[in-house]
Amino acid sequence: MRSLSPTHPVLEQAAAQRDGQVVLAKVDTDANQRLAAAHRIQGIPAVKAFREGRVVDEFTGARPPAEVTRFFDALVPSEADALVAAGDEDSLRRALELEPNRSDAAVALAGLLHRRGEREEAAGLLTNATGFAAEGLAARLRLEDSRDPSLADAFAALDAGDTERGIDLLLAALPTTDGRQDDVRRVVVGVLDGLGVDHPLARDARRRLAAALY
- Domain chopping of the chain, boundaries: 2-73, 79-213
What's the pLDDT score for residue 176? 86
Q: Which residues of the chain have pLDDT under 70?
A: 1-7
How would you class 195 by CB atoms within 10 Å of its CB: exposed for 0-12, middle for 13-18, buried for 19 or more?
middle
Of 53, 47, 60, 98, residue with least CA distance to 77: 98
What's the pLDDT score for residue 1? 40
What's the pLDDT score for residue 86? 95
Mean pLDDT of the chain: 87
- The CATH code of the domain at 79-213 is 1.25.40
What's the pLDDT score for residue 72? 80
Instruction: Give the tens place of pLDDT for each residue, 117-165.
Output: 999 999 999 999 999 999 999 999 999 988 888 899 999 999 999 999 9
Task: Tell me, yes or no, if the two domains 2-73 and 79-213 fold the same way.
Answer: no
Q: 203 CB contacts (<8 Å, ≥6 apart)? A: 197
Domain 2-73, CATH among 1.25.60.10, 1.10.540.10, 3.40.30.10, 3.30.70.260: 3.40.30.10
What's the pLDDT score for residue 211? 87
**Pairwise CA distance, residues 101 & 103, whole Å:** 6
What's the pLDDT score for residue 91? 97
18 neighbors 44 (Cβ within 8 angstroms): no
**pTM attached to this predicted model:** 0.69
What's the pLDDT score for residue 2? 41
**Pairwise CA distance, residues 24 & 114, whole Å:** 44
